[in-house]
């Protein structure tokens, strides 16, 4: 399908789907949501609204997707084992790649990777495994290359994944944290939050593929489950997720000794009107206008103390 790209001003918009080709462009700058095909034509990579500002042509997606930036901490799932690299799904328009040369071998050994290491790739990471990684580089087509050379990155064990819109993850100096309530949380900038057993941040780790979590006790399991429900609730209410907001939600949920399926509804009514002003101040984000009306309607339509 071809799209008439005679966009004379920023007010001009058109709906596009992946694969649509922008015709009639002679001098342009490729923006988000687009890529260049083999013939040099500009093609839409997501479904959304096409916009042009001066020479910049971009597509605003109907649903938010993650756009990689160098240095981002991400959580992803291995989808395929290829020659000397793994393909990783990171909630982006294109899968990321983790090169064999960009990982630490078990034991943290740093050396040139051999053919024997390539044969052992599937024993280290296989399809379905969860990993944490850092964005090493971003390619012109929007795909990214990952690296796990730091021992804080690598394969993830015994935890739960929470998927939220990427724009809700606040960019912080540190995205790995041990919550005061116990569990360890990784806030992936790509919208994937990993909640697992508490991690000893001062302990020397033996490698990025070694499981050192040990068994999870009942209290730890309940804390992980409650944190997950709190993260889902905050995301449903479009409240930014970071250490302070998640910890505050957890503390406010403590009095509610109900099943975790009912906890979501109870928390929605009990603390959403208390939390959003505090989150606004902590996140330095103007969330009052975005959720204020919804909070008021929630308060008016439900009788809670």
Which of 213 and 218 is assigned the larger pLDDT? Answer: 218
The answer to whether position 202 is within a domain reads no
Confidence of residue 97 (pLDDT cuts 50, 70, 90): very high
Give the mean model confidence (pLDDT) for residues 28-50: 85
Closest by CA to 235, choosing from 153, 164, 148, 138, is 164
Confidence of residue 11 (pLDDT cuts 50, 70, 90): very low
The answer to whether position 205 is within a domain reads no
Residue that finishes a domain, picked among 148, 165, 196: 196
Which of 209 and 226 is assigned the larger pLDDT? Answer: 226
Return the pLDDT at 303. Answer: 39
Contact 239, 245 (CB under 8 A): yes
Contact 146, 69 (CB under 8 A): no
Which residue range is the domain that position 282 belongs to? 218-301
Are residues 263 and 223 part of one domain? yes
Confidence of residue 305 (pLDDT cuts 50, 70, 90): very low
Are residues 47 and 86 part of one domain? no
Which CATH number do you get for residue 35? 2.40.50.100
Return the pLDDT at 291. Answer: 45
The answer to whether position 148 is within a domain reads yes
Are residues 161 and 243 part of one domain? no
Give the mean model confidence (pLDDT) for residues 283-293: 46
Find the range with the poorest average confidence among 3-12, 63-72, 195-204, 276-285: 3-12
**Averaged pLDDT of the chain:** 78
Return the pLDDT at 76. Answer: 95
Question: Domain count of the chain?
Answer: 3
Return the pLDDT at 271. Answer: 53
Which CATH number do you get for residue 117? 2.40.50.140
Residue that finishes a domain, picked among 19, 34, 61: 61
CB within 8 A of 140, min separation 6: which ones? 30, 35, 36
Are residues 82 and 56 part of one domain? no
Are residues 186 and 243 part of one domain? no
pTM of the full predicted structure? 0.68
Of the chain, the percentage scoring pLDDT greater than 70 comes to 73
Are residues 178 and 105 part of one domain? yes
Give the mean model confidence (pLDDT) for residues 199-216: 65
Confidence of residue 302 (pLDDT cuts 50, 70, 90): very low
Are residues 81 and 47 part of one domain? no
The answer to whether position 201 is within a domain reads no
Are residues 189 and 127 part of one domain? yes
Are residues 96 and 174 part of one domain? yes
Task: Indicate if the pLDDT at residue 273 is higher than 70.
Answer: no
Are residues 134 and 81 part of one domain? yes
Are residues 191 and 245 part of one domain? no
């Amino acid at each position: 399908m071809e799209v008439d790209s005679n966009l004379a001003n920023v007010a001009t918009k058109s709906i596009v789907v992946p694969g649509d080709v922008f015709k009639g462009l002679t001098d342009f700058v490729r923006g988000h949501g687009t890529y260049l095909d083999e013939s040099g034509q500009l093609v839409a990579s997501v479904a959304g609204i096409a916009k042009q500002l001066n020479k910049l042509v971009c597509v605003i997606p109907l649903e938010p997707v993650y756009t990689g930036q160098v240095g981002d901490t991400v959580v992803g799932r291995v989808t395929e084992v290829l020659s000397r690299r793994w393909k990783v799904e990171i909630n982006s328009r294109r899968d990321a790649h983790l090169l064999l040369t960009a990982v630490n071998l078990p034991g943290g050994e740093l050396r040139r990777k051999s053919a024997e290491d390539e044969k052992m790739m599937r024993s280290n990471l296989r399809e379905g495994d969860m990993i944490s990684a850092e964005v090493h580089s971003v390619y012109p087509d929007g795909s990214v290359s990952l690296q796990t050379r730091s021992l804080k990155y690598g394969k993830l064990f015994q935890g739960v994944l929470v998927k939220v819109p990427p724009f809700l993850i606040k960019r912080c100096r540190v995205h790995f944290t041990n919550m005061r309530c116990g569990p360890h949380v990784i806030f992936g900038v790509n919208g994937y939050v990993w909640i697992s057993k508490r991690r000893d941040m001062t302990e020397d780790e033996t490698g990025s593929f070694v499981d050192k979590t040990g068994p999870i006790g009942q209290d730890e399991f309940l804390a992980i489950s409650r944190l997950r429900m709190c993260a889902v609730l905050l995301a449903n209410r479009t409240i930014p997720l970071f250490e302070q907001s998640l910890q505050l939600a957890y503390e406010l949920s403590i009095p509610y000794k109900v099943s975790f399926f009912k906890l979501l509804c109870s928390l929605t009514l009990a603390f959403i009107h208390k939390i959003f002003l505090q989150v606004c101040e902590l996140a330095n984000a103007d969330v009052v206008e975005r959720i204020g009306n919804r909070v008021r309607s929630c308060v008016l339509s439900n009788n809670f103390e």
